[in-house]
Structure 1
């Protein structure tokens, strides 16, 4: 039962939660003023977070950030232990003692997904596997071909100048995911209309969003769950949950991955030209490089299910550990050819990581074929309150399309 129903005063409860939202963000801000490096990561606006991430690394393999009440690591060996150890399977701080209060209005389904034990997660993952009961595509190649068709259609209507983030990347994910989940065409428009309001859900797990964004995300997530329950073929509690987690965890990270890959290629001399000359080979290389150097999800958080010792530090039940994914990939002891650490398969990305990477590869190949002279066309803008994704607000580009 919602707290609004318990109080009997929805307006009063909404105002209380809005104040909590503001206070939680203020706490992060003031912790940064006290030179807490993890708080500086959380409060980063449009600036780069790398200096704060490296400050965390300098404090050792496991650092306690006091005001956010979180242990933080930038060391790959520690991060690998966290994602591989069953002690770190617990729900988020709302359901455990000693973990602090979570940001209000955060995503219910993605926070809940962290409560999945490994057996449940293993049971849900086959539902969204290629060739499984939910996805239309039998394999990655089939998905990439359909994505390329949607991408070409989008680019045909954009002209020579457009916003890579809003006009292309985010508009691409909606119809592709709706089709892959087997939704009837009558439901596609509503699915694509709801998805943009869910773009803040991953950031909301660790960073309070503005009141308007948080409320819109909450309403959109609820409406999306209802739509899937109505529109999925033979819906069950498991297929609705798996579909919702997949949609929310795939859409915005895919858009961020596409934009980050294009940015890295355009920043590197000759980078985009090499992609345009050999899109089939270079697209996969570009996605892998981006996952390592500019991952679409920069922070992963876990809570302790059972008492454990990590990096020589005893952690009680309910303690939280945050992994600085981009910094982990820069960890000097890591092998140069080690796999990128990110989109960890033990939580919601176990249902969506294969989709994120396939969509990004297809998008990059199509962009390179149709816009071989793509270039930046103005200053990029990073979204505020986006420490998890570092999501683009605006990425203006230009090019002469070749169809």
Structure 2
């Protein structure tokens, strides 16, 4: 009888959260219909969001989306202040949010606060107790080995995002986390259902996707608890954050970099002739087509931002791609994004290292690579604008 009651309670809880998820998505859709530029960004179809992002910029350094009750900025200085100021913290809701979290299926480990993220970052640093590699060069060497293995199993036509980039990140991350080889396959099989976690921080995913993600994250905790060399509450949490915040952004970064190069006349040829330019390509992609386009923070203590007083509980979203296009930003400013204060403080260094090695190896192996159809962006992906498909043909000779 007790298990039946628990099952009924769980069913009611899922139904309640599903209704809240639908209401949040409806609010975003309605905001877009009303031409709210932030609503248009969050509607997240397959179109390019640049016009909506620039519409936010035109409304000033800090725009209030009244329909979605969120402050939004495309201003570099304002965005940097949000990252630097401890008054702004993780994207999770305040404990007293009326009605609960408007996005009730959000990944709990990606809503951590600064105080929780800081000690975990030491575990995942190069040379830390959790990450296998002592430096970026070691990661790149091992990634190149895995990349050649993945590419050797592909034909002359393949999907760059699904068949190469996403297939690569699983074994690379598993190895870097020190998981035994017997756990690599299961770890890689769990990652696809976790790939929507970052988008789910701001955009409600479909009910089936949300439930699959919850199940995959629960299974991931079990796997890491059993397989990590030093399994503690902190190492399991840090490893899970690494998996969710590194795998899909790395794949998106690789795919975006290749797309930019193939769209640019002679772009891929120049990389093929000098594969060591891969680092430069990664930095350029982080600036012009970042793998994470939206960063969200919540005000924890009242603060003044861009001359506006924000109360505790106010939500702020940074339009990362638009921030990088800010004409008033210093010319030598590094790419903005993969912010160091929260989950990317644990994984950004690995994301960049794996992307550099993947691009270098792909250019060495397939110097004649070319697009073989139009890329398609995944729906409900405003944070990542992740590719659903990106077909390429791999010419074997010199371009």
TM over 0.5: yes
- Cα distance change, pair 5–163 in 1 and its aligned pair in 2 (3 A): farther
- Cα distance change, pair 16–363 in 1 and its aligned pair in 2 (3 A): same
Q: Structure 2 length as normaliser, TM-score?
A: 0.96
Which string of whole-angstrom CA distances, capped at 9 and with x for unpartnered residues, describes residues 282-323 of structure 1?
A: 101100000000000000000011110000000011111100
**Contact map agreement 1:136 1:182 (CA 8 A) in 2:** yes
The aligned counterpart of 2:358 is 363
Distance in 1 (alpha carbons) for counterparts of 2:166 and 2:206 = 21
Matches of residues 185-200 of structure 1 in structure 2 within 5 Å? 185-200=181-196
Q: Which has the larger displacement, 233-242 or 309-318?
A: 233-242
The aligned counterpart of 1:392 is 387
The aligned counterpart of 2:317 is 322
Segments of 5+ residues of structure 1 without an aligned counterpart are: none
- Cα distance change, pair 95–246 in 1 and its aligned pair in 2 (3 A): same
Aligned residues: 395
Which string of whole-angstrom CA distances, capped at 9 and with x for unpartnered residues, describes residues 218-265 of structure 1?
A: 110111011111110121111111111111100000000000000000
The aligned counterpart of 1:116 is 114
Matches of residues 172-187 of structure 1 in structure 2 within 5 Å? 172-187=168-183
The aligned counterpart of 1:37 is 37
- Cα distance change, pair 199–391 in 1 and its aligned pair in 2 (3 A): same
The aligned counterpart of 1:50 is 50
SS at match of 2:64: strand
SS at match of 1:229: helix
Matches of residues 123-162 of structure 1 in structure 2 within 5 Å? 123-162=119-158
Aligned counterpart in structure 2 of residue 163 of structure 1, from 146, 159, 165: 159
Distance in 2 (alpha carbons) for counterparts of 1:5 and 1:225 = 26
Distance in 1 (alpha carbons) for counterparts of 2:137 and 2:331 = 28
Distance in 2 (alpha carbons) for counterparts of 1:388 and 1:305 = 23
The aligned counterpart of 1:346 is 341
Which string of whole-angstrom CA distances, capped at 9 and with x for unpartnered residues, describes residues 48-94 of structure 1?
A: 00000000000101111112211000000000000000100255225
Segments of 5+ residues of structure 2 without an aligned counterpart are: none
Which string of whole-angstrom CA distances, capped at 9 and with x for unpartnered residues, describes residues 12-42 of structure 1?
A: 3323322222221111001111111001000
Displacement, 1:361? Answer: 0.3
Q: Structure 1 length as normaliser, TM-score?
A: 0.95
**Contact map agreement 1:94 1:102 (CA 8 A) in 2:** no
Displacement, 1:97? Answer: 4.0
- Cα distance change, pair 384–5 in 1 and its aligned pair in 2 (3 A): farther
- Cα distance change, pair 239–164 in 1 and its aligned pair in 2 (3 A): same
The aligned counterpart of 1:60 is 60
**Contact map agreement 1:260 1:296 (CA 8 A) in 2:** yes
Matches of residues 303-318 of structure 1 in structure 2 within 5 Å? 303-318=298-313
SS at match of 1:323: strand
**Contact map agreement 1:203 1:385 (CA 8 A) in 2:** yes
